[in-house]
Amino acid sequence: MKDNKKKRVGSLRKKSVTVVLVAAFILSMISSTLSGIFYSYNMYNHYKKLSEQLADTAASMMSAEDIVRYYNEVKAIGPYDDEKYNNDDAYRAAYDEKANALKDENYQQMLDTLFSFADQSKGRNDIEYIYLQVIDGDSVTYIFDADHTDEAYQLGTVRPVSAEIVDRDGLENGIPAFVSNNPDDGWLCSCMRPVRDANGNPVALVGVDISMTKVVTEGFIYLITLIAIVLIVAGILILLIQKGVNKTLVNPINLLSKAARSFVEDKGKDANNRSLISKLSIHTGDEIETLSDSIKQMENDINDYIAHLTAVTAEKERIGAELELATRIQADMLPNIYPAFPEREDLDVYASMTPAKEVGGDFYDFFLVDDSHLAMVMADVSGKGIPAALFMMMSKILIKNAVMNGNTPADALTIVNRQICANNREEMFVTVWLGIVDLKSGLLTAANAGHEKPIVKSPDGDFELFEDKHGFVIGGMEGLKYRNYEIQLHKGSKLFLYTDGVPEATNAAKELFGIERTIDALNRSKDSEPSAILTAVKESVDAFVGDAPQFDDLTMLCFELKGDDNELIVDATLENVTLAADFVGNIADSLPFSEKSKKQLKIAMDELVSNVARYAYGDDTGKVSVRADHDDTGVTITITDSGVPYNPLEKEDPDTTLSADERDIGGYGIFIVKNTMDTMDYTYNDGKNILTIRKNYD
- How confident is the model at residue 271, as a pLDDT? 46
In whole angstroms, give the CA distance from residue 396 to residue 391.
9
* pLDDT given at position 1: 46
| 194: Cβ contacts below 8 Å, ≥ 6 apart | 59, 170, 171, 172, 173, 174, 202, 203, 204, 205, 206
CA atoms within 13 A on the CB side of 677: 24
| Regions of the chain with pLDDT less than 70 | 1-17, 121-126, 163-172, 249, 256-281, 283-286, 319-332, 356-360, 564-565, 655-667
Q: Which pLDDT does position 452 carry in this prediction?
A: 95
Q: What is the model's pLDDT at position 4? A: 52
Say what the pLDDT of residue 609 is. Answer: 93
Position 319 scores a pLDDT of 62
Q: What is the pLDDT of residue 129?
A: 84
Q: Which residues 6+ apart lie within 8 Å of 223 measured at CB? A: 32, 35, 36, 39
Q: Are 567 and 549 in contact (CB under 8 A)?
A: no
Residues in the chain: 698
The pLDDT score that the predictor gives to residue 528 is 94
Q: How far is 252 from 288, CA to CA, in rounded Å?
A: 7
